[in-house]
């Protein structure tokens, strides 16, 4: 297929509002791909690169060669060229990568360059989300949509599912099952502003889990083989030996566990999030597991490796680097040791617990300290201890538990994992009890709680209605210090806001990070006109403005950051509204930000 045809599909999908019409456009494009182009082509339609990490950052996309007059590129040509770019390493790699990138863009037409820029910077907002693409795959391959959705949840990789469906049909899709060693897209929680609204959604009785301020981990064990994956399905096994040690001690032959890993101080309170994130950081595709690369990591195709992104300092997704020479874990070896009995709910006896582990645990004020084996493993890498805490069990000794209700999965979990490695959990039947659990979690320095229905299955890859997270919502009135020009569908608009808090000591402003989240097209148009009117310095990338416009920003916390002069950055910052009723002199101060960071105010 010509790459130009794929670019035309992308543009048409972006310009189309109807779901059915979008699906038809995507399905037609998928049908036009050659078998060896489906993986890359479906990734492009999803707005990502198959290679994920390319070393190409925003700076590399500023000075590009003029576009070609005539289209010559195929989808396979582009994929091969990006493979070469991603493989560049060693001395002089920057120049070689720039040369290869220049050659690719010189061979691309205007429309093809537009698509490539969106793919490299991860901002191809064309309205082709995973749900639409699942529909399109079913339509193109003429297979049942439920079969595609189920395969997507289990494989965690839209590209692999597209290739399987289009080359093997429904029979091949049916062969995609939960496989120990292959990560699957994790179940996510919907959000609610209060615990009473969360309970309205889940019903009562409900289970309330402490929401730890750590990183999501999915741990697979088959005999002596153990692999640890992040939320975005990157493998980090060699970076977290204490997690491996904890799982190796469990009385089971095969496991798939869902949980969090977190660095704690001597009192059991969370250490700064960056310490946890640094231990779990990954680099490159060599760190991937035996399986699929997840769609959950959209937008990571080069920002991580090549330099700061527009949201650097704001996102808490793992972004640091891991050795490209790390071995990929393998599974499928014969089980080690005697088989252990299975769990309640399978008609067999439960395994002998690794310690006292009641099915319902009182919500602790803070997590228990790390076990000796976990501490010893951490010392082997000379780093702060990452303690794993698990809240779900997806597979146990040959039995898949995805479709079992939560109460069965959690009973099996409690019978397999010792209490020191279980997330704090309490069963509640009233708003008052849930509120008490929420307050206890916050007092312990954690993010909040997740309210869960005991009857809900594990909805892999979805924000299931059976899980509702509740976190405190902080808001601040900050001042816009500069704005970056957008790219992709935001090209021509001022998009990424530089945010500052007022410094009462100097009369100036302290930058706290950037965000382009929460901006509608209407707001983008308005703020472009507004900030061009306030401009004091217009650059090709950044427009610096008079510090006059106040904007209300919602965020989930404050983290330590060496990127900004104030030593702090907002986490998950997003625009709520512009405050024309406030002057810059009425903006919140940097002292307020420090108080939120230190837990002295709730925000």
The catalytic site residues sit at 211
| Residues counted in the chain | 603
Among the listed residues 10, 13, 31, the one whose alpha carbon sits nearest the alpha carbon of residue 22: 13
Taking the C-alpha atoms of residue 343 and residue 355, their distance in angstroms, rounded to an integer, is 15
- Taking a C-beta distance cutoff of 8 angstroms, is the pair 441, 205 a contact? no
Coarse DSSP helix, strand, coil percentages of the chain, rounded to the nearest 5 percent: 35, 20, 45
Q: Are strands 399-400 and 386-396 parallel, antiparallel or unpaired?
A: antiparallel
- Taking a C-beta distance cutoff of 8 angstroms, is the pair 192, 407 a contact? no
Among the listed residues 124, 185, 116, the one whose alpha carbon sits nearest the alpha carbon of residue 149: 185
* DSSP SS3 for 114: helix
205 upstream amide cis, omega within 30 of 0: yes
* DSSP SS3 for 30: helix
**Which tokens sit at 535?**
């401009």
**Which tokens sit at 489?**
């569908």
Distance, CA of 572 to chain centre: 12
Among the listed residues 366, 561, 391, the one whose alpha carbon sits nearest the alpha carbon of residue 445: 366
- Taking a C-beta distance cutoff of 8 angstroms, is the pair 262, 389 a contact? yes
The angle, 0 to 180 degrees and rounded to 10, between the axes of the packed helices 3-15 and 110-121 is 70
88 upstream amide cis, omega within 30 of 0: no
């Amino acid at each position: 297929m010509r790459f130009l045809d794929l670019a035309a599909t992308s543009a048409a999908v972006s310009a189309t509002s109807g779901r059915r019409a979008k699906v038809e456009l995507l399905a037609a494009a998928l049908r036009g791909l050659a078998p060896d182009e489906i993986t890359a082509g479906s990734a492009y339609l999803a707005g990502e690169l198959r290679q994920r990490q390319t070393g190409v950052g925003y700076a590399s996309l500023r000075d590009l060669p003029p576009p070609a007059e005539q289209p010559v590129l195929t989808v396979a040509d582009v994929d091969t060229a990006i493979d070469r770019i991603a493989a560049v390493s060693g001395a002089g790699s920057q120049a070689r990568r720039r040369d290869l990138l220049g050659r690719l863009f010189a061979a691309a037409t205007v429309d093809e360059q537009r698509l490539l820029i969106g793919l490299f910077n991860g901002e191809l907002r064309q309205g082709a989300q995973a749900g639409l693409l699942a529909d399109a795959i079913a339509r193109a391959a003429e297979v049942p949509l439920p079969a595609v959705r189920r395969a997507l949840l289990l494989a965690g990789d839209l590209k692999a599912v597209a290739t399987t469906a289009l080359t093997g049909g429904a029979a091949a899709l049916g062969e995609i099952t939960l496989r120990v060693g292959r990560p699957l897209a994790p179940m996510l929680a919907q959000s609610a502003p209060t615990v009473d609204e969360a309970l309205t959604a889940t019903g009562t009785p409900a289970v309330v889990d402490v929401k730890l301020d750590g990183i999501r981990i999915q741990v697979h064990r088959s005999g002596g083989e153990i692999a640890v994956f992040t939320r975005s399905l990157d493998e980090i096994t060699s970076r977290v030996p204490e997690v491996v040690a904890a799982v190796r001690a469990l009385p089971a032959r095969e496991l798939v566990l869902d949980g969090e890993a977190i660095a704690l101080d001597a009192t059991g309170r969370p250490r700064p999030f960056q310490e946890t994130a640094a231990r779990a950081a990954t680099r490159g595709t060599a760190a991937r597991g035996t399986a699929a690369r997840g769609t959950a990591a959209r937008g990571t195709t080069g920002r991580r490796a090549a330099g700061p992104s527009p949201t650097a300092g704001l996102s808490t997704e793992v972004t640091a680097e891991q050795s490209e020479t790390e071995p990929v874990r393998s599974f499928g070896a014969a089980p080690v040791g005697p088989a252990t009995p299975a769990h309640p709910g399978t008609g067999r006896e439960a395994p002998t617990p690794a310690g006292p582990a009641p099915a319902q645990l009182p919500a602790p004020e803070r997590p228990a300290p790390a076990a000796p084996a976990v501490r010893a493993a951490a010392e082997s890498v000379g780093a702060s201890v990452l303690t794993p805490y698990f809240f779900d069990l997806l597979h146990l000794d040959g039995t898949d538990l995805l479709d079992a209700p939560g109460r069965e999965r959690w009973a099996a979990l409690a019978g397999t994992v010792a209490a020191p490695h279980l997330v704090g959990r309490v069963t509640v039947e009233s708003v008052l009890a849930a509120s008490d659990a929420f307050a206890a979690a916050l007092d312990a320095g954690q993010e909040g709680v997740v309210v869960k229905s005991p009857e809900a299955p594990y909805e892999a890859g979805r924000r299931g209605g059976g899980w509702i997270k509740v976190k405190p919502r902080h808001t601040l009135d900050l001042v816009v210090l500069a704005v970056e020009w957008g790219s992709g569908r935001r090209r021509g608009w001022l998009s990424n806001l530089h945010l500052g808090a007022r410094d009462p000591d100097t009369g100036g402003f302290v930058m706290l990070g950037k965000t382009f989240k929460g901006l509608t097209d209407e707001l983008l148009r308005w703020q472009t006109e507004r900030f061009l009117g306030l401009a004091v310095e217009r650059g090709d990338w950044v427009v610096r403005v008079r510090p006059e416009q106040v904007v209300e920003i919602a965020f989930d916390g404050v983290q330590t950051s060496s990127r900004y002069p104030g030593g702090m950055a907002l986490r998950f910052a997003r625009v709520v509204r512009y405050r024309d009723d406030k002057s810059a002199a009425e903006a919140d101060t940097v002292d307020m930000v420090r108080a939120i960071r230190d837990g002295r105010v709730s925000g």
